[in-house]
Amino acid sequence: MTTPIRSQDDALAWVSAHAGSLNAGATDADAVIPVLGAAGFFRIGVPEAQGGSGGSTADAIEAIARVAERSLTAAFVFWGQRTFIEYLLHSPNATLRAHRLPALLAGELAGATGLSNAMKFLSGIESLSISATPAGPGWRLDGHLPWVTNLRRPGFGVAAAVQPTGGEPPAIVAFFDDTPGIHRSADLELLALCGSNTAAIDIRGVASGPEHLIHADARSFIPTVRPGFLGLQCGMAIGLARASLAASRASGSAARSGLLPRVERVDAELAEAVAELKAGVLDGRFAPQAAPLFHIRIRLAALVREAVDLELDATGGRAYLVATTGDFARRWLEAAFVPVVTPSLTQLHGELARQAALAA
């Protein structure tokens, strides 16, 4: 990062300029968090009393979407950071929040959400992958997380669900890169989003005390933070769809080939889904009833696919030529990630089917 970041526009310009390198490699990976932090992006939707700039989670969703219009890699990292912050905001552990939140908001410390495993656990898809054995006033943690994003090497924290061996309910804890027993793998070899600092973590004999506890009961905590987890994640799809629709409009062939009515239809459907998402996040309806939020996430993934298909149709053969593809090839690969990011569309459909069966 050579150019000083003085505003959100500066940060967005940096993201646009580095979108290709962030997608294809790790050269600029460690700069994303400081750039977005310097511009105040992580403070959006955080109460001023906690060091934020105020606003709501809906404002944070929109901020992630703005970044995703330029780079899904940067937006993916943003989502991980902002979701970790969301966990601390909902945690009863005021000491942990006071100690770690300022660095997270400033972009000096990376925050990673390792709760994908917990989301699947609550849906009966898989077991928790970290055990917690009683040790003094806390636990000794052992386990493995195979896929965690935003593990920035200069410093990171991870939120994860653990299964106590003493019979207590599953809990949510935080651990940090400088904790003995935490081992980060090399970056996973991804098809795209390579600058997202995505790796595996081994946890071996890690001491976890009360000061690391985010919440003592994962089953009550997860439904509380799930609207933020999924709502913020939806910002990635929203921004990517907007970018492809804008590129379709900008193509002269879109008007000549009669694509504009399709573009406007998808744009209208996207605006409707975004409005429904923000309303549900703001009025709290998604906390007791997650199914409507699942449906929105599924709908947004379908709109992303339609949007990139329209961009391909509007660009034509130029999209398949390296010299003229522009940003299309990157967005095409980014769009392939939207259905598989946890919870994947397959997992969401499965959970909806399970809920329907229980209701019947």
Instruction: Tell me what pLDDT residue 120 has.
Output: 74
98-134 per-position pLDDT tens digit: 999 999 999 999 999 988 777 777 766 678 899 999 9
How confident is the model over 226-252, as pLDDT tens digits?
Answer: 999 999 999 999 999 999 999 999 887
Residue partners of 110: CB distance under 8 A and separation at least 6: 33, 77, 80, 81, 150, 151, 152, 154, 155, 156, 157, 197
Give the C-alpha separation, 37 to 106, whole Å.
Answer: 5
pLDDT at residue 258 is higher than 90: no
Residue 14 scores a pLDDT above 70: yes
Residue 185's Cβ-count burial label (10 Å; 0-12, 13-18, 19+) is middle
pLDDT for the residue numbered 126: 73
Q: Specify the pLDDT at position 117.
A: 76
The pLDDT of residue 169:
92
Its CATH class, for the domain covering 113-218, is: mainly beta
Mean pLDDT of the chain: 93
pLDDT digits (tens, 9 = 90+) for 72-95: 999 999 999 999 999 999 999 999
Answer yes or no: are the C-beta atoms of 302 and 240 closer than 8 Å.
Answer: no
CATH fold for domain 219-359: Butyryl-CoA Dehydrogenase, subunit A; domain 3 (1.20.140)
Same fold, 8-108 and 219-359: no
Residue 53 near residue 40 (C-beta atoms within 8 A):
yes
Ordered by start, the domain boundaries in the chain are: 8-108, 113-218, 219-359
**pTM confidence score:** 0.96
pLDDT the model gives residue 256 = 64
CATH 1.10.630.10 fits 8-108, yes or no: no
Determine the average pLDDT of the residues in 288-307: 96
